[in-house]
Amino acid sequence: MATNINKRLDQLRTRRTGIDRAHRVAKDAAAEVLAKSRIDEAWQKRAKDQPYTRYCLGAMQAVDPDYTRISIETAERVGRQLLSNLHALGIPIELGIQGSVPLDVHIRGVSDVDLLVLETDFYTYNTRGVMSLGGQYRSPTQRTSLLVLGNLRTQSERILKDKFPAATVDTSGGKAIAMSGGSLARPVDVVPSHWHDTVEYQVSKLERDRGVTILDRKVPKTIDNLPFLHIYRINERDKSVFGGLKKAIRLCKNVKNDAIEEGRKINFPSFDIAATMYHADSAGFQAGIVNELAVLAETQRFLDELYHDEAKAKSLMVPDGSRHIFDNDDKYQGLRTLSYEMDELAKEVAKEQSPLLRISPQATILDTRKALRETYVPR
């Protein structure tokens, strides 16, 4: 990794400013991205003579809020076209945004945003819930999720091609319609879906407990998930550790991306990275409110623990409780590769902060973590 830190710093900057994906947005948006990329962010002015430290600090930071706002506004613009045109066809919908953008753990200035298009005149429910047992749902229908979502997908594709003629509307994906370019300031992935009333939702009536059913048209099959419960639980845990959890998630995602750029294979999806770091030690992250490098120390420690304890790793559940995180071996091998990358980063950052570690061949990973936890990097 030592020979690649300057390249990684450059990749981090281009990723955060969005110039690596400027070709996927409208011309005026691309010009704005390019102009803004010439202005240094705050992290670029810190730890001037310590490139590993500077990389780590930058990799933990949230993307500029203006970029996040533009992503959400672009998704809402696409959503308004679908709302009015599907309504005209007698298909009522409501909209939602899922994924890393609303959670603010995306690492790209030009980041795809997932727009849920939820048909509201059809939903499914768990028959074991209190509302179901109490007879509060309407009579059964002959319609099925596959038929409803298949039609919603077909009509959405037609509308999007008609209303965004200059944009690329890629319909080849199984789960989402991928839009980019044309007049769009950011790429948008449109996900046809409907609600699924879980047992928990039937009690709480809270949207975060409500499931979402999407279509994988390539199989075809439907998939149930809990995107809003995931967002809620990550947000709550992050608040309790003063922002340390999201910093760790962004750090892992950036390190993963740069390792892949250098030729390493890391099959460890972003959703599962977030789910994994959710289980790390809260006290370790809380220390990062003053000494930010403590977040790196805890991230390295926890990934290392899971590297050496496969049984523990494979017992961990995603935050919404719907499945195990490591439900296939490729993901676990991806974690092990990411753990190695984080080991190397932690060692190099600690050497920059501790003269003793630079000259001590007997230094251990415990010494590395100690140096990281005790270091304050001026702003």
Q: What is the pLDDT of residues 253-293, one digit of tens each?
A: 999 999 999 999 999 999 999 999 999 999 999 999 999 99
Residues 199 and 266 in one domain: no
Residues 156 and 260 occupy one common structural domain: no
Specify whether 85 is located in the same domain as 150: yes
Q: Which of the four pLDDT bands, split at 50, 70 and 90, describes residue 1? A: very low
How much is the mean pLDDT over the chain? 96
245 with 342, same domain: the answer is yes
Q: Which residue has the tokens 């039609």?
A: 151
In a domain, 10, yes or no: no
Task: Give 316: exposed, middle or buried? Use CB within 10 Å, 0-12, 13-18, 19+.
Answer: middle
Check whether residue 74 and residue 221 sit in a common domain: yes
Question: In terms of domains, do 131 and 220 share one?
Answer: yes
| Span 178-191, pLDDT tens digits | 999 999 999 999 99
From 163, 190, 225, the end of a domain falls on: 225
Regarding whether 218 and 250 lie in a shared domain, the answer is no
Please tell me whether residues 215 and 106 are part of one structural domain. Answer: yes
227-258 burial by CB neighbour count: b if 16+ within 10 A, else e? bbbbbbbbbebbeebebbbbbbbbbbbbbbbb
Shared-domain flag, residues 142 and 246: no
Q: Let me know if residue 8 belongs to a domain.
A: no
Classify residue 24: in a domain, yes or no: no
pLDDT tier for residue 3 given thresholds of 50, 70 and 90: low
Same-domain pairing of 217 and 237: no
Is residue 58 in a domain?
no
70 and 136 part of one domain: yes
Tell how strand 113-125 and strand 188-197 pair up.
parallel
* Final residue before a domain boundary, out of 198, 225, 252: 225
The answer to whether position 39 is within a domain reads no
Tell me, yes or no, whether 53 lies in a domain.
no
Task: Give, as one character, the DSSP assignment of residue 320.
Answer: T
pTM: 0.96
DSSP labels, 141-175: -S--HHHHHHHHHHHHHHHHHHH-TTSEEE--SSS
Residue type, 350: A
E-assigned strand segments in 294-379: none
pLDDT at 2 over 70: no
Which of 206, 225, 244 is a domain's end point?
225
In the predicted structure, residue 81 carries a pLDDT above the cut 70: yes
Distance (Å, whole) CA 264 – CA 267: 10
- Tell me whether residue 35 is in a domain: no
Residues 341/254, Cβ–Cβ less than 8 Å: no
* Domain membership of residue 240 as a residue range: 232-373
Model pLDDT for residues 340-379, shown as the tens digit of each residue: 999 999 999 999 999 999 998 889 999 999 999 999 999 8
Residue 298 sits in the same domain as residue 269: yes
Q: Are the beta carbons of 81 and 160 closer than 8 angstroms? A: yes
Residue 14, in any domain of the structure: no
How many domains does the chain divide into? 2
Query: At 101, which CATH number?
Result: 3.30.460
CB 71 within 8 A of CB 111: yes
